[in-house]
């Protein structure tokens, strides 16, 4: 599909992340007014609450709310109808009465009320590289890894929107003569994509991969900040806990599954056939360039299609015990890493656990320092248009001993 031209000129410019083909959803406010739902188009935001109040579209009044959960709860038929209506209103021969706000004037908020947060571990390169550092070559890839998506239950309460500073945590660390209480000295990022679950499932009911795909509203950039020294001491046998609870940053714009449809892509080669409940009838990943920068220097670029499990497979597996899912559930993909060091989504891998420093703006670096700014980015390149995800940034604040 080529670029859909809009009467909002900035949306037609080459390289614009918010072409009419994209139309991501977010929550914004201007000045001190109440946060409400919007859609990005070029350098503007469609004020969806005002548009609904003017009778231009129908989302059951949910766009006046300060998060997208109400709209997501309406279900896929309404998601599709509103997207089609917005595309019509914004097309070249559309309705110029549609209320727009300059993006530069807006404050962007957390787009959803995050009801639950689970983080997975679905890049084979990342799982192998990290396993190598934590457990050695024999046990690098856990034996179940190629058979099921593994993850841990994270904290919804610690998810923040892009731009929120992240405080370096204090923690219990392994010392030479017993544990010590100290600032984390191995603070890291994790480059991930988060799937936003827009429809619930019932406790006791398993969801198939196909049904799971129908429940996913869209995707956000996600940085799973990680305290590696805390993690190394605490994580066996129940997995990460305080090392992953210091903050998780998500981007302000949810790119819908509909916008990503033209970029559907097969993932990594399978090492073995999956059990039937995890098999996909069509490719569930996307051809999406994704990467991160540190203090403005691009550190790594890779592709989301290096992943071994799709979000739909992760969601299906998540319900395999009968675990219910909620509107606003957030599923982190797991760190996205390609095989080469300049394709890795974490400093732990890029620096081989801190042994091989990297150069950032002329300085040798291993882990994150106070004042560092990490920014994630992702782009799908279409035929004459782009699908961008907006910013996903965070600056490290010093620890409070």
Active site residues: 126
CB of 279 to Mn ion, least distance (A): 25
Stretch that binds Mn ion, among 46-54, 139-147, 221-229, 233-241 (CB under 5 A): 221-229
DSSP state of 247: -
Which pairs with CB-CB distance under 8 Å and at least 24 residues apart come from 126-133?
Answer: 126/334, 126/335, 126/336, 126/337, 126/344, 126/345, 126/346, 126/349, 127/334, 129/337, 129/344, 129/348, 129/349, 130/335, 130/346, 130/348, 130/349, 133/348, 133/349, 133/352, 133/353
Closer residue to Mn ion in complex, CB, 36/228: 228
Preceding peptide of 328 cis, ω within 30°: no
In this complex, which beta carbon is closest to Mn ion, that of residue 119 or of residue 349?
119
Find the shortest distance in angstroms from Cβ 336 to Mn ion: 10
Stretch that binds Mn ion, among 139-147, 208-216, 219-227, 318-326 (CB under 5 A): 219-227
Which residues 188-207 are close enough to bind Mn ion by CB under 5 A?
Answer: 190
Binders of Mn ion in range 288-347 (CB under 5 A)? none
Residues 253-282 that bind Mn ion (CB under 5 A): none
**Which of 116, 119, 213, 372 is in the footprint of Mn ion by CB under 5 A?**
119
Check binding of 349 to Mn ion (CB under 5 A).
no
Number of residues that bind Mn ion (CB under 5 A): 3
- Smallest separation (angstroms) from Mn ion to the CB of 247: 12
Residue 224 lies near Mn ion (rule: CB under 5 A): yes
Q: Which residues contact 177 (CB under 8 A, 6 or more apart)?
A: none
Whose Cβ is closer to Mn ion: residue 98's or residue 193's?
Answer: 193
One DSSP character per residue, 253-304 reads -BEEHHHHGGGEE--SPPSSPPPGGG--SS--EE--EEEEEETTEEEEEEEG
Q: How far is the CB of 104 from Mn ion (least distance, A)?
A: 32
Q: Whose Cβ is closer to Mn ion: residue 67's or residue 302's?
A: 302
DSSP string, 326-370: -TTEEEE------SSGGG-SSHHHHTTTTTS-EEETTEEESS--T
42: left (phi over 0), alpha (psi -120 to 50) or beta: left
What is the smallest separation between the CB atom of 367 and Mn ion, expressed in angstroms? 16
Quote the least distance from Cβ 41 to Mn ion, whole Å.
Answer: 31
If you ran DSSP here, which 8-state letter would residue 126 be given? H
Residue closer to Mn ion, measured from CB, 213 or 224: 224
Q: Residues 68, 127: contact at Cβ < 8 Å?
A: no
Stretch touching Mn ion by CB under 5 A, among 111-119, 125-133, 140-148, 303-311: 111-119
Minimum CB distance to Mn ion smaller for 119 or for 234: 119
Residues that bind Mn ion (CB under 5 A): 119, 190, 224
């Amino acid at each position: 599909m080529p670029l859909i031209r809009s009467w909002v000129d900035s949306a037609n410019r080459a390289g614009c992340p918010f072409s009419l083909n994209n139309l991501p959803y977010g929550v914004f406010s201007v000045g001190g007014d109440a946060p409400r739902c919007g859609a990005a188009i070029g350098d503007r935001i469609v004020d969806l609450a005002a548009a609904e109040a003017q009778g231009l579209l129908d989302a059951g009044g949910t766009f006046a709310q300060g998060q997208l959960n109400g709209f997501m709860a309406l279900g896929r038929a309404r998601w599709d109808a509103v997207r089609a209506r917005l595309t019509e209103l914004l097309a070249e021969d559309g309705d110029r009465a549609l209320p727009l706000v300059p993006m530069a004037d807006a404050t962007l908020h957390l787009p959803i009320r995050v009801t639950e947060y689970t983080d997975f571990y679905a890049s084979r390169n990342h799982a192998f590289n990290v396993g190598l550092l934590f457990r050695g070559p024999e046990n690098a890839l856990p034996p179940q890894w190629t058979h099921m998506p593994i993850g841990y239950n994270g904290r919804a309460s610690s998810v923040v929107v892009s731009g929120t500073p992240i405080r370096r945590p204090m923690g219990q660390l392994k010392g030479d003569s017993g544990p010590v209480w100290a600032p984390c000295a191995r603070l890291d990022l994790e480059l991930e994509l988060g799937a936003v679950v827009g429809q619930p499932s019932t406790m006791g009911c398993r969801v198939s991969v196909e049904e799971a795909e129908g429940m996913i509203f869209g995707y956000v950039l996600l940085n799973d900040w990680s305290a590696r020294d805390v993690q190394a001491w605490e994580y066996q046998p129940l997995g990460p806990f305080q090392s992953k609870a210091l903050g998780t940053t998500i981007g302000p714009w949810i790119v819908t599954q509909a916008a990503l449809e033209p970029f559907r892509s097969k993932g990594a080669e399978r090492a073995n056939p999956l059990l039937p409940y995890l098999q996909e009838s069509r490719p569930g990943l996307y051809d999406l360039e994704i990467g991160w920068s540190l203090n403005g220097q691009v550190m790594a670029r890779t592709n989301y299609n290096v992943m071994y499990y799709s979000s739909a497979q992760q969601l299906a597996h998540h319900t395999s015990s009968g675990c219910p899912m909620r509107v606003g559930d957030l599923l982190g993909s797991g760190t996205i890493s390609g095989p080469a060091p300049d394709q890795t989504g974490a400093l732990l891998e890029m620096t081989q656990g801190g042994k091989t420093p990297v150069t950032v703006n002329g300085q040798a670096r291993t882990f994150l320092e106070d004042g560092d700014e990490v920014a994630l980015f992702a782009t799908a390149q279409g035929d004459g248009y782009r699908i961008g995800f907006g910013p996903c940034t965070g600056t490290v604040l010093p620890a409070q001993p």
